[in-house]
Amino acid sequence: MKTRIVGLLVFASLILAFALIVSTPAATNHGNALPAAAAQPAPAAAAAAEPHPEIREALGALRRAKEHMEHAAHDFGGHRVEAIEATNQAIRQLELCLKYDKD
């Protein structure tokens, strides 16, 4: 009887330990971390960075999707024309966003 109880306690503690390990976020490696001043990009490097990379990436993805829809062998259940028009509108809006960016 004691062996069975001890076995159940060991099993329960292993499950609890595993649950704790799985739910705890991974620790970052601070052994080779840079000081706060070194981690900040230099002003020249910040100015050279591409402005709004997410918008430019979205533009590229929209253009590729439009190209795919234009050359597809089927009409996507009758939605191809409207999808291409909506994609054109989205591309125009993102281009306007970049044009009027004041940053």
Global confidence as pTM? 0.51
Q: pLDDT value at position 51?
A: 83
Token code pair at residue 80: 């191809």
What's the pLDDT tens digit per position in 19-45?
656 565 655 555 555 555 555 555 555
Can you point out the beta strands (E) in 47-100? none
In a domain, 24, yes or no: no
Which domain does 76 fall in, by range? 49-103
Q: Which residue has the higher pLDDT, 44 or 57?
A: 57
The answer to whether residue 23 sits within a structural domain is no
Q: Does 25 fall in a domain?
A: no
63, 11 in Cβ contact below 8 A?
no
Residue 57 maps to a domain: yes
53 three-state secondary structure? helix
The residue behind tokens 């999707």 is 65
Tell me the helix, strand and coil percentages in the chain, rounded to 5: 70, 0, 30
